[in-house]
Amino acid sequence: MATPGGTDRASHSLDKSITLPPDEIFRNLENAKRFAIDIGGSLTKLAYYSTVQHKVAKVRSFDHTAKGDGEPLYEISVQEEITARLHFIKFENTYIETCLDFIKDHLVNTETKVIKATGGGAHKFKDLIEKKLKLKVDKEDEMTCLIKGCNFVLRNIPHEAFVYAKHADSEFRFQNTHPDIFPYLLVNIGSGVSIVKVESEDKYERIGGSSIGGGTFWGLGALLTKTKRFDELLQLASKGQHTNVDMLVKDIYGGAYGSLGLTGDLIASSFGKSATADKEFSKEDMAKSLLHMISNDIGQLACLYARLHNLTRVYFGGFFIRGHPVTMHTITYSINFFTKGEVQALFLRHEGYLGAIGAFLKGAEEDNPNQYSWGENYAGSSGLMSVSPDLNPMQRARSGTFDMLEMDRLERQLVNLPLLQDPSSYIPDTVDLTEDALAREYWLYCFEEALDGVVKRAVASQRDQPEAAERAEKFRQKYRHKLQTLRHQPFAYGSLTVRSLLDTREHCLNEFNFPDPYSKIKQRENDMALKYYQKVVKSLEELSWDQRQFALVRGLLAGNVFDWGAKAVSDVLESDPEFGFEQAKHQLQDNSGMDIILGVFPFVRELLIRGTEVVLASNSGPALNDVTNSELQIVTERIAAMDPVIQAAVKEDRLTLVQSGSSSPCLDLSRLDKVLATVVRERSTDLVVIEGMGRAIHTNYYAMLSCESLKLAVIKNSWLAERLGGKIFSVVFKYEVPSKTQGQY
């Protein structure tokens, strides 16, 4: 049963005089509209929709009919763009009045008339909210909100769900986003337990429940141990020995009950020893016994319902769970025991926000939020905090005080690449840094080392703006803080990967209005490369077929050397601006400029000549010096103007430019622009070429496609090269044919 409850976490230990930095917390309030609030027993979750104005670098083609030599190919202008963002803030009920005051003072939008509310505390605080905010409180059903929120996070947040393994190398094992999230079972452990079967966005049913839940642990625990608070009870439990209180199988049998396969350590009767022995029991032991009793009972019922309804995905939530390692562990244990490992207990990173998200979505139905894809903004979100006792107390107190989640509305819907062999098992990332401690150490160090360079580059990209240096400094602090957080809590945003580290950096750069630090470099390189284009094409044409194929591939790979993201390369590029394509070719071993114009285009041209249709996919938004779709449009126009092969192909639709939907140096093939997926399907694409270290090595190295594929990149990192058994500037050229046995047809 979803009922009020909560943890009033840290309220006793927290210094109440702590001054709130609400401007860091309630961001973008001035544009906020549509509020929702979920008030639990001790925590309030506030949701609002807002718009963020931030700078974007736009490229615009010059009129080239009258252009003189030496003029740049296109102009770059920085424009203001408005994007939609969802803000979710979690804080203790103690702060509710302060927070409401702050919101009132900063709220500009007067169109907002109502606030959607859910949770047991909504009733209690109704008058306060209406008085403070002058908004009408509109109550929504708790369970409906919970399910709506759950569907939303499962669909939109990669690595939302995880399996908890206390003794494993990484406590949190994040799950892939399954293309179809339904059906699933949600076991909500509030004061009681509700077991809900969810079959589709709008179809769910409460198939069962139990009165033995978080309230039983808390209520009975308080009676037994004279300990008032839920957290303290959990703490007691984590220190106790249940075997002093429980009657085990071995207490009855002297050992195991072998014929039934019941081990001696199994609990035969919870609290069984407290009935026979005339002695005192410690608080810790009783709390532990109680925790086991309740967790096992809930796990057993969940399994019985899962079996009856033939469901294998079972998510657990509610205040009993809410990120507490102790309860996640006992529930996981119970599920493993009762299903013999057939069902895994799944938990959610944003479990505490589900009600608020759902209530918000209920109020925002006219905006059709489910039509869009959303992405977690790493810069604005707190991430999952471990409540492990090892964490320093200040950090823990802080994490219990304010927690934030921000989701950006993406301009396009993201879907799976239709050519993925098995979308449900596709993992974009090659190395999971959450599990690989050595790799994690290395990459965190690497990103920290590269930070100075990125800051320098960011400032350089906005020389005309005097405050750029100050913003860049803020960026440095924010990103460094993120890196530090990830060092201690690698699981904060799901599995830590090179991709997530890169994406976090992009999000932080955007946050401080550095939309595209490389725009000018890209512009210069594109300009330069275009001058060489005809020369390159001509020299290729003079080669024999065999030689040409080889040269084309060398060209593709040579272009890939120009990667500002790779430290080894950026060092060279910084020190030697004349470092040219010819040198790169000799260095051998998707970036803008050399890569796209002198590497990719000649290759595309060759394909077109042999009658192959080509779809050229590029990033929707900027990331490092990777070419963006809008830049590519202009580049293609210019090449078409000097190359009849390209021109004809564009005209006849044999060469199509599509954006990928990504704004990352890496590529998640399960989140691609829907248009690209449609084109891939319509054109019956039968070869996929993925180029670049980010897209073909850090991600997709092991991706299995249902058609032929070619993954190529230059390893521009000596550590990675060594790991893969090669040297820096080694080449990866991976041609794969789908295995017949695995294909469906």
Partner 1 sequence: QKLVSFPWFGMDIGGTLVKLVYFEPKDITAEEEQEEVENLKSIRRYLTSNTAYGKTGVRDVHLELRNLSICGRTGTLHFIRFPTAAMHRFIQMGRDKNFSSLHTMLCATGGGAYKFESDFRTMADLELLKLDELDCLIHGLLYVDSVGFNGHPECYYFENPSDTQHCVKRPCSLDNPFPMLLVNIGSGVSILAVYSKDNYKRVTGTSLGGGTFLGLCCLLTGCETFEEALEMASKGDSTNVDKLVRDIYGGDYQRFGLQGSAVASSFGHMMSKEKRDTISKEDLARATLVTITNNIGSIARMCAVNEKIERVVFVGNFLRINTVSTKLLAYAMDFWSKGQLRALFLEHEGYFGAVGAFMELLKSSEEP
Q: List contacts with partner 1 (CB under 8 A).
A: 1, 3-5, 120, 141, 143, 190-192, 206, 208, 210-216, 218-220, 222-224, 228, 245-247, 249, 251-255, 257, 259-260, 267-276, 278, 281, 286, 293, 296-297, 300-301, 304-305, 307-308, 338
Q: Is 94 helix (H, G, I), strand (E, B) or coil?
A: helix
- C-alpha Rg value of the chain to the nearest Å: 29
Q: How far apart are the C-alpha atoms of 483 and 257, rounded to whole Å?
A: 51
Residue with Cβ nearer partner 1 (301 or 604):
301
Residue with Cβ nearer partner 1 (72 or 219):
219
Residue with Cβ nearer partner 1 (4 or 692):
4
Q: Minimal distance in Å, beta carbon 698 to partner 1? A: 46
Q: Minimal distance in Å, beta carbon 97 to partner 1? A: 22
Comparing CA positions, the residue from 582, 552, 487 lying closest to residue 691 is 552
323 within 8 A of 353, measured Cβ to Cβ: no
At 657, phi and psi to the nearest 5? -105, 125
Residue with Cβ nearer partner 1 (5 or 355):
5
Residue with Cβ nearer partner 1 (228 or 481):
228
Residue with Cβ nearer partner 1 (225 or 510):
225
164 within 8 A of 347, measured Cβ to Cβ: yes
Residue with Cβ nearer partner 1 (229 or 520):
229
Comparing CA positions, the residue from 15, 36, 43 lying closest to residue 103 is 36
Q: How far apart are the C-alpha atoms of 493 and 378, rounded to whole Å?
A: 7
Q: Minimal distance in Å, beta carbon 397 to partner 1? A: 23
Q: Minimal distance in Å, beta carbon 222 to partner 1? A: 6
Q: Minimal distance in Å, beta carbon 302 to partner 1? A: 10
Residue with Cβ nearer partner 1 (74 or 305):
305
Q: Minimal distance in Å, beta carbon 151 to partner 1? A: 18
Residue with Cβ nearer partner 1 (211 or 583):
211
Q: Minimal distance in Å, beta carbon 336 to partner 1? A: 15
Q: Minimal distance in Å, beta carbon 260 to partner 1? A: 6
Q: How far apart are the C-alpha atoms of 575 and 572, rounded to whole Å?
A: 5
Q: Verify cis geometry, omega within 30 degrees of 0, for the bond prior to 183.
A: yes
The Cα-based distances of 457 to 509, 591, 608 in angstroms read 11, 17, 37
> Is the Cα dihedral 558, 564, 568, 571 positive or negative?
positive
Q: Minimal distance in Å, beta carbon 37 to partner 1? A: 19
Q: How many CB atoms lie within 10 A of CB 368?
A: 8
Q: Minimal distance in Å, beta carbon 273 to partner 1? A: 7
Q: Minimal distance in Å, beta carbon 333 to partner 1? A: 13
359 within 8 A of 117, measured Cβ to Cβ: yes
Q: Minimal distance in Å, beta carbon 664 to partner 1? A: 43
Q: How far apart are the C-alpha atoms of 519 and 685, rounded to whole Å?
A: 31
Encode burial over 4-30: b for 16+ CB neighbours within 10 A, e otherwise. bbbbbbbbeebeeeeeeebeebbbbbe
Q: Minimal distance in Å, beta carbon 519 to partner 1? A: 54
Residue with Cβ nearer partner 1 (155 or 307):
307
Q: How far apart are the C-alpha atoms of 432 and 174, rounded to whole Å?
A: 10
Diameter of the chain measured on Cα atoms: 101
291 within 8 A of 217, measured Cβ to Cβ: yes
153 within 8 A of 353, measured Cβ to Cβ: yes
Q: Minimal distance in Å, beta carbon 399 to partner 1? A: 24
Residue with Cβ nearer partner 1 (3 or 377):
3
Measured in whole angstroms, how far is the alpha carbon of residue 564 from the centre of its chain? 24
CA dihedral 70, 74, 76, 82 (to 10 degrees): 180
Residue with Cβ nearer partner 1 (293 or 623):
293
Residue with Cβ nearer partner 1 (307 or 567):
307
At 194, phi and psi to the nearest 5? -115, 135
> Is the Cα dihedral 390, 391, 396, 397 positive or negative?
positive
388 within 8 A of 492, measured Cβ to Cβ: no
566 within 8 A of 610, measured Cβ to Cβ: no
Residue with Cβ nearer partner 1 (223 or 438):
223
Residue with Cβ nearer partner 1 (208 or 352):
208
Comparing CA positions, the residue from 164, 716, 116 lying closest to residue 450 is 716
Comparing CA positions, the residue from 435, 509, 499, 454 lying closest to residue 478 is 509
Q: For residue 366, give the DSSP letter.
A: G
Residue with Cβ nearer partner 1 (257 or 372):
257
Q: Is 340 left (phi over 0), alpha (psi -120 to 50) or beta?
A: left
Comparing CA positions, the residue from 700, 231, 47 lying closest to residue 420 is 700
Residue 81 has, within 13 A of its CA and on its CB side, a CA count of 19
Q: Minimal distance in Å, beta carbon 618 to partner 1? A: 49
Q: How far apart are the C-alpha atoms of 184 and 205, rounded to whole Å?
A: 11
Q: Minimal distance in Å, beta carbon 724 to partner 1? A: 49
Residue with Cβ nearer partner 1 (253 or 735):
253
Letter for the amino acid at 641? A
Residue with Cβ nearer partner 1 (338 or 402):
338
396 within 8 A of 358, measured Cβ to Cβ: no
Q: Minimal distance in Å, beta carbon 615 to partner 1? A: 49
Encode burial over 564-586: b for 16+ CB neighbours within 10 A, e otherwise. bbbbbbbebbeeeeebebeebbe
Q: How many CB atoms lie within 10 A of CB 538?
A: 9
Q: Minimal distance in Å, beta carbon 481 to partner 1? A: 37
